[in-house]
């Protein structure tokens, strides 16, 4: 009887400890951006969660209906995030300050860039696929191929084709390395930042076999990306739950001057390769 009791107790405490180890809870501060009771999600701009996640805008699962009635967009809140290896969800909201609902993004009137214009990415806070803050100084002295895309794009002729061509360009650039690596960075900026978190971008970049030294994926806040895209002449809009968009691919020289601007997907990786490498040789 005694050994049996002992084993039972050991099992009980190890389960207790194990359970405690696998379930983590965080208190998080944030601002509610959007409520989606139908999919039991809230989009929240949250502060950094030490030991777990950087500050970002992202969707969270909310299991209980009641919270959708207690908070509204614009509210500054404190909430509890529970994480287990299988799932995570948030609850126990406390409204710290009632906010005004955010106005839907309005189209910013900005001067559109064209070939010969200067384009700087300085001052636009963005995150890379590895979760790091995008550092614009890492582009110093480099040509940049910049394009807008999103990972869920369902149209084979749009983002998937764009990304395939950038893949071919990366290959050509790498093959060229023997003759001196061209100083160029390919940047893909998502137009769907609510879905395309750094984590999503990371697995996407892996699937593209992107070499992070050469080809990087960026996300940021929707208003920032909308304003940058709009300056580049790239439009995107929601249509029945899907994102529609126009295409823009730019080649920017190391001085920040736009050298090429493509408004469709008809360019070839050879075109871009020449525009970068031949110019470099001059």
User: Which two tokens mark 224?
Assistant: 């920032």
Contact (CB, 8 A) for 126 and 120: no
Residues that contact Cu ion, how many (by CB under 5 A): 3
**CB within 8 Å of 105: residues ≥ 6 apart:** 222, 223, 226
The one-character DSSP state at 257 is: B
Site string for Cu ion, 164-193 (x = CB under 5 A): ------------------------------
Give the range of 26-34, 99-107, 159-167, 193-201 binding Cu ion by CB under 5 A.
159-167
| 72 φ/ψ angles, rounded to the nearest 5 degrees | -145, 165
Give the range of 111-119, 124-132, 148-156, 225-233 binding Cu ion by CB under 5 A.
148-156
Give the range of 23-31, 41-49, 133-141, 151-159 binding Cu ion by CB under 5 A.
151-159
**C-beta of 158 vs 172, nearer to Cu ion:** 158
For 221-281, give the DSSP string.
Answer: -HHHHHHHHHHTT--EEEETTEEEE---EEEE-TTSBEEEEESSS---HHHHHHHHHHHHH
Give the range of 40-48, 49-57, 145-153, 265-273 binding Cu ion by CB under 5 A.
145-153
| 43 φ/ψ angles, rounded to the nearest 5 degrees | -95, 120
Is residue 158 within the footprint of Cu ion (CB under 5 A)?
yes
Angle at 13 between CA 10 and CA 14, to 5 degrees: 80
Give the range of 90-98, 132-140, 158-166, 256-264 binding Cu ion by CB under 5 A.
158-166
Range list of β-strands (E), 150-235: 184-190, 215-220
Sole binder of Cu ion in the list 44, 62, 159, 250 (CB under 5 A): 159
Helix axes 269-281, 159-175, angle to 10 degrees: 40
**CB within 8 Å of 207: residues ≥ 6 apart:** none
Q: Which residue is nearest to Cu ion (CB)?
A: 153
**Residue 129 CB, nearest distance to Cu ion (Å)?**
18
Contact residues: Cu ion, CB under 5 A: 153, 158-159
């Amino acid at each position: 009887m005694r050994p049996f009791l002992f084993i039972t107790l050991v099992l009980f405490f190890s389960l207790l400890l194990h359970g405690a180890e696998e379930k983590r809870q965080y208190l998080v501060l944030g601002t509610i951006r959007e409520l989606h009771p139908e999919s039991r999600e809230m989009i929240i701009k949250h502060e950094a969660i030490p030991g777990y996640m950087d500050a970002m805008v992202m969707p969270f699962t909310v299991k209980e209906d009641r919270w959708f009635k207690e908070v509204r967009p614009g509210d500054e809140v404190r909430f509890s995030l529970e994480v287990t290896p299988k799932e995570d969800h948030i609850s126990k909201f406390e409204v710290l300050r009632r906010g005004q609902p955010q106005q839907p993004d309005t189209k910013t009137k900005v001067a559109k860039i064209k070939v010969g214009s200067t384009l700087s990415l300085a001052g636009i806070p963005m995150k890379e696929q590895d979760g790091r803050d995008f550092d614009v100084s890492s582009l110093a002295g480099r040509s940049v191929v910049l394009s807008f895309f999103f990972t869920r794009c369902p149209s084979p002729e749009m983002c998937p084709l764009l990304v395939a061509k950038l893949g071919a360009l990366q290959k050509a650039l790498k093959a060229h390395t023997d003759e001196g690596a061209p100083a160029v960075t390919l940047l893909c900026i998502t137009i769907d930042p609510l879905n395309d978190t750094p984590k999503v971008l990371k697995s996407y970049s892996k699937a593209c076999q992107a070499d992070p030294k050469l080809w990087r994926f960026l996300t940021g806040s929707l208003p920032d990306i909308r304003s940058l895209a709009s300056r580049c002449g790239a439009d995107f809009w929601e249509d029945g739950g899907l994102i529609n968009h126009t295409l823009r691919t730019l080649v920017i020289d190391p001085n920040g001057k736009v050298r090429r601007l493509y408004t469709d997907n008809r360019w070839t990786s050879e075109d871009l390769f020449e525009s970068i490498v031949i110019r470099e040789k001059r």
